[in-house]
């Protein structure tokens, strides 16, 4: 199993380096004028967007168009390819007499009658507003792909389990130990007798984070769990489930902490109330920071090759390439571990918070 994973990681790293290289190398960097700055390319690769960009820049780029869905007085539907990739002349899309423009990943609606873009001294668009955006972005498309993969895997495994009278085989032999691990080693010990009530949510949470972590390691993929909006929603769901499940003992410890003198109640009660929100906040930041940091490190290591080329020439770039690729391979192996580890930690802490809210004190 490890050898198979290592082969896949090596292949993934080679494709990853090829895609990033073609993207970075297309930005004609003058060796004499300046050292290559990798920050814009790195931020572009880890950010969400209205199209799925794979490689290249400008007219030589290859991107998958995604649906744009906007609401401003009425719904507007068109594809992201309607926006031209030109930093100097932004293409204005007209839909139902409304005009839209895409600037730095945000879509604006021009004021009625406006045909030109007006900016202030800080380069803020003055004659436009931001409509409600329900578009299928790269992150949303990646989550839908993850959803389809999970459904296929579990439905096929379920049919095989019924056919074989529960005997694990194929994909089921890989999934069953993970499901049992989540149930017996994460959920049941932390929640107790009521664990079955929360098991479907916690299994869904674990596999959702895991599949998106793993998909994020593929070349040209989306950075779903490295997007703070996604981790915010996951932590908010945990916050809602935890507090709606809280019993009298849980709320009693918050509004009437046992053993606390009356004089300290005005201090302890606000601290306990803040603690309700700091727990899911920590979940949000932990997942976001760990996944984003891994992607940034891998992209930074690849960027060292192009920084060496722009600063020292092609010989330095070729000399540094093997070292950079080895470190990228090492980071890819660590990221596979982190993908499982972060799904485990998020599910474990969620189970712990639910268990603290539902435990019966005697």
Q: Where are the domains of the chain?
A: 67-135, 139-358
Tell which phi-psi region holds residue 244, choosing left (phi > 0), alpha (psi between -120 and 50) or beta.
alpha
For 30-42, the three-class secondary structure string (H helix, E strand, C coil) is CCCCCCCCCHHHH
Element (H, E) at 68: strand 67-72
Which of 51, 221, 77 has its CA nearest to residue 145?
A: 221
Q: Is 104 left (phi over 0), alpha (psi -120 to 50) or beta?
A: left
Give, as one character, the DSSP assignment of residue 59: G
- pTM score of the predicted model: 0.82
Nearest to 305, CA basis, from 289, 291, 316: 316
Helix (H) or strand (E) holding 102: strand 98-103
Supply the pLDDT for residue 134: 92
- Write down the pLDDT at residue 90: 58
252 contacts 259 by C-beta, under 8 angstroms? no
Mention every residue, 6+ apart, whose C-beta is less than 8 A from residue 250: 356, 357, 358, 359
The predicted pLDDT at position 68 comes to: 92
Burial class (CB in 10 A: 0-12, 13-18, 19+), 228: middle
| Residue 119 DSSP label | B
Element (H, E) at 53: strand 51-55
Quote the CA–CA distance of 285 and 336 in Å, as a whole number: 19
Reading the chain (362 residues) residue by residue, the pLDDT tens digits are 434 444 444 444 444 444 444 444 444 444 344 678 888 888 878 888 888 887 766 666 778 889 999 998 889 998 888 886 544 445 788 888 888 888 877 888 888 877 778 887 777 788 888 899 999 999 999 999 999 999 999 888 888 877 777 667 777 888 888 999 999 999 999 998 889 999 999 999 999 999 999 999 888 888 899 999 999 999 999 999 999 998 888 888 888 888 888 888 888 889 989 989 999 999 999 999 999 999 999 888 888 888 888 878 788 888 888 888 899 889 989 999 999 999 999 999 999 999 999 987 65
Identify which of 333, 301, 330, 339 has the alpha carbon closest to the alpha carbon of residue 224.
339
Give first-to-last CA distance, the chain, whole Å.
Answer: 47
Task: Evaluate whether 19 touches 219 at the Cβ level (below 8 Å).
Answer: yes
For residue 14, with 0-12 CB atoms within 10 Å meaning exposed, 13-18 middle and 19 or more buried, which class applies? middle
For residue 63, the surrounding DSSP H or E stretch is: strand 62-65
């Amino acid at each position: 199993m490890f050898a198979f994973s290592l082969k896949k990681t090596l292949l993934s790293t080679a494709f990853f380096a090829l895609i990033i290289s073609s993207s970075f190398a297309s930005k004609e960097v003058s060796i004499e004028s300046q050292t290559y700055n990798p920050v814009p390319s790195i931020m572009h690769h880890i950010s969400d967007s209205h199209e799925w960009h794979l490689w290249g820049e400008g007219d030589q780029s290859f991107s998958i168009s995604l649906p744009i869905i906007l609401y401003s007085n009425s719904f507007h539907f068109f594809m992201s390819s309607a926006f031209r990739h030109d930093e100097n002349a932004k293409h204005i899309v007209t839909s139902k007499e409304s005009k839209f423009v895409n600037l730095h990943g945000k879509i604006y609606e021009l004021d009625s009658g406006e045909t030109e873009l007006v900016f202030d001294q800080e380069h803020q668009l003055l004659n436009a507003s931001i409509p409600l955006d329900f578009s299928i972005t790269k992150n949303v498309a990646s989550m839908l792909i993850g959803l389809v993969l999970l459904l296929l895997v579990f439905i096929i495994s379920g049919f095989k389990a019924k056919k074989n009278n529960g005997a694990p085989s194929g994909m089921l032999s890989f999934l069953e130990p993970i499901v049992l691990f989540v149930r017996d080693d994460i959920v049941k010990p932390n929640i107790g007798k009521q664990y079955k009530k929360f098991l479907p949510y916690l299994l869904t949470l674990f596999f959702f984070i895991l599949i998106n972590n793993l998909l994020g390691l593929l070349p040209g993929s989306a950075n779903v769990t490295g997007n703070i909006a996604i981790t915010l929603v996951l932590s908010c769901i945990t916050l809602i489930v935890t507090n709606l499940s809280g019993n009298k003992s849980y709320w009693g410890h918050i509004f009437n902490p046992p053993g606390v003198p009356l004089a300290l109640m005005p201090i302890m009660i606000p601290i306990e109330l803040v603690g309700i929100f700091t727990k899911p906040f920590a979940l949000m930041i932990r997942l976001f920071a760990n996944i984003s940091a891994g992607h940034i490190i891998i992209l930074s290591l690849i960027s060292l090759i192009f920084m060496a080329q722009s600063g020292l020439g092609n010989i330095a770039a070729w000399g540094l390439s093997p070292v950079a690729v080895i470190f990228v391979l090492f980071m890819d192996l660590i990221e596979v571990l982190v993908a499982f580890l972060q799904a485990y930690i998020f599910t474990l802490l969620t189970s712990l918070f639910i268990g603290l809210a539902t435990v019966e004190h005697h």
